[in-house]
Amino acid sequence: MKEIKQINDICDFLRQSQGIDVSTYEDSFLKKTLQNRISTSMCDSMEEYFTFLKQNSTEGNLLIASLQNNYSEFFRNALTFAVLERIVLPYIVKKKKKKEIRIWSAACAQGQEVYSFAMLLEELRGGDDEKFKYRIFATDKCDAQINKAKHGEYPSSALNNINFKRAEKWFTKRNDVFTIKSELKENIDFSIFDLLGKNSGSPSVSIFGDFDIVFCANLLFYFNSKNQKQIVNKISKSISDGGYLITGEAERQILLNLDFSEVFLQSGIFQKKGGTREKDGTRITQILK
């Protein structure tokens, strides 16, 4: 009880001093992060840490930075990308005919997820831009992340999941820096968007949402259930009928609890139960059988 009160006091303090509400984070994640900061700051207790936090203005920034995880990888969650590449994308391309395929990456970090997906789309086009059209709206709450994503520069260590053929085709190399080629950026719009903000349901550059695919991966598990629900509700409204929500493979249970059905067992690919069927009543899960 005492610890809960101390954590609440820390949340109130950060809300007032930094204007950031850290109570949105999932309880055990918040507690673990605080414990890490307590030991790094060489404090003996939560109480002592709270006093330290109030007296050291930089500690507030460090605590908030440790809560904002922006780790990402190219082709993170291999199964999800394999199902997207081999089943979902070819199906969407066929279904949409020549109509633009619309994708939203709602927490894109430094862009690895967006560029991975753009590589799959370009490979499916096989050099024929007329085969189908697509546009990816890449957003993140953090402007520093969006700037990094726009630049698309990565150290060689970030390319572990990229095979040689893709590295050759989509990157230019200078010393240890690999930069995404401009042709892969042509169909991507980058902008700032806070999924917990009081803004509209989708990035304003996308005008009306209506996405065939929305990525919201490796973000939900940091938030408490109220905020998970708020994010998923916001995103669901922007998904077209028959569209897909892609989450991290470690976050699948959150979507299963929120009335989404998994398109392919163990993948992070979901469709909304009811309301998102194709016009002829089929779902991709039926197509797979």
Ligand X SMILES: C[S@@+](CC[C@H](N)C(=O)[O-])C[C@H]1O[C@@H](n2cnc3c(N)ncnc32)[C@H](O)[C@@H]1O
| 145 forms part of the interface with ligand X (CB under 6 A) | yes
Are the C-beta atoms of 106 and 201 separated by less than 8 Å? Answer: no
CB of 217 to ligand X, least distance (A): 4
Please select the residue that binds ligand X; options are 33, 72, 116, 238, rule is CB under 6 A.
Answer: 72
- 69 lies in the binding site for ligand X (CB under 6 A): yes
Could you tell me if 250 and 267 are in contact, meaning their C-beta atoms sit under 8 angstroms apart? no
Asked if 195 touches ligand X (CB under 6 A), the answer is: yes
Of 79, 120, 124, 142, the residue at the interface with ligand X (CB under 6 A) is: 142
Could you tell me the two tokens for 94?
Answer: 């066929």
Residue with smaller CB distance to ligand X, 46 or 246: 246
> Residue 140, interface with ligand X (CB under 6 A)?
yes
What is the Cα–Cα distance from 45 to 89, expressed in whole angstroms? 51
Per-residue binding string, ligand X, 19-48, x by CB under 6 A, is ------------------------------
Closer residue to ligand X, CB minimum distance, 69 or 187: 69
Binding residue for ligand X, selected from 70, 187, 191, 240, defined by CB under 6 A: 70
The label of the residue with tokens 């197509």 reads 287
Cα dist from 80 to 86, 199, 215, 245, whole Å: 10, 29, 11, 11
252 binds ligand X (CB under 6 A): no
Whichever of 98 and 198 has its CB closer to ligand X, that residue is: 198
Closest approach of ligand X to the CB of residue 102, in Å: 18
Give the nearer residue to ligand X in terms of CB position, either 75 or 134: 75
Q: Which helix (H) or strand (E) holds 252?
A: helix 252-257
Among the listed residues 240, 264, 238, the one whose alpha carbon sits nearest the alpha carbon of residue 84: 264
Give the residue ranges of DSSP H helices in 19-153.
27-40, 46-55, 57-67, 78-83, 89-96, 112-125, 143-151
Near ligand X in 219-248, by CB under 6 A = 219, 248
- Point out which span in 7-15, 26-34, 64-72, 161-169 binds ligand X (CB under 6 A): 64-72
**One of 27, 168, 186, 194 touching ligand X (CB under 6 A):** 194
- Residue 9, classed as helix, strand or coil, is helix
Q: Give the E-state strand segments of the chain in sequence order.
A: 101-105, 134-140, 153-155, 171-174, 177-180, 188-192, 211-215, 239-246, 260-262, 269-272
92 contributes a contact to ligand X by CB under 6 A: no
Q: 12 φ, ψ to 5°? A: -60, -45
Would you call 103 helix, strand, or coil by DSSP? Answer: strand
| Binding region for ligand X (CB under 6 A) out of 36-44, 67-75, 79-87, 236-244 | 67-75
Out of 25, 34, 38, 76, the only residue in the binding site for ligand X (CB under 6 A) is 76
Residues that bind ligand X (CB under 6 A): 68-73, 76, 107, 109, 113, 140-142, 145, 194-196, 217-219, 248
